[in-house]
């Protein structure tokens, strides 16, 4: 249910933040996709203040450039997040001209 009133923009969070979800107290959580560990920020639309809520990172962040999506339970205690791991193989070639 949404109370009547004017919509409130969350511009204070910045362009790189994505909404995670709303908490029971009416504040919302957002995360910055451009950093790892990923900071989860709490935004209170009434006071228009933002504060660090928690940080998320995979157990092994090797090859993980960013977190793609985050979800949270309404009590703010449980998070699920999605990321992609990139891997590759580096081959070193010796072009010195002499065969082994």
Cβ(45)–Cβ(27) below 8 Å: yes
Asked if residue 38 is part of any domain, the answer here is yes
Q: What is the pLDDT of residues 85-100, one digit of tens each?
A: 998 888 888 777 666 5
58 has pLDDT over 80? yes
**Domain assignment present for 19:** yes
The pTM score is 0.74
Q: Higher pLDDT residue, 1 or 94? A: 94
Q: What is the domain count for the chain?
A: 1
Q: Are 31 and 56 in contact (CB under 8 A)?
A: yes
The pLDDT of 46-73, averaged and rounded, is 91
Phi, psi of 74, rounded to the nearest 5 degrees:
-60, -25
Domain that holds residue 38: 14-83
Q: How does the average pLDDT of the chain come out, rounded?
A: 85
**Residue 8 within a domain:** no
End-to-end CA distance of the chain: 75
Percent of the chain with pLDDT over 90: 40
Is residue 37 reached through a cis peptide bond, with omega within 30 degrees of 0 on the bond before it?
A: yes
């Amino acid at each position: 249910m949404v109370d009547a009133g004017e919509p409130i923009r969350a511009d204070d969070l910045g362009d790189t933040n994505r909404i995670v979800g709303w908490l029971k107290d009416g504040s919302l959580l957002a995360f910055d996709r451009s950093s790892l560990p990923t900071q989860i920020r709490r935004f209170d639309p009434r006071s228009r203040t933002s504060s660090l809520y928690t940080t998320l990172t995979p157990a092994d962040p090797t090859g993980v450039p960013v977190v793609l999506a985050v979800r949270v339970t309404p009590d703010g205690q449980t998070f699920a997040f999605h990321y992609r791991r990139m891997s590759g193989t580096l081959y070193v070639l010796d072009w010195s001209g002499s065969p082994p």
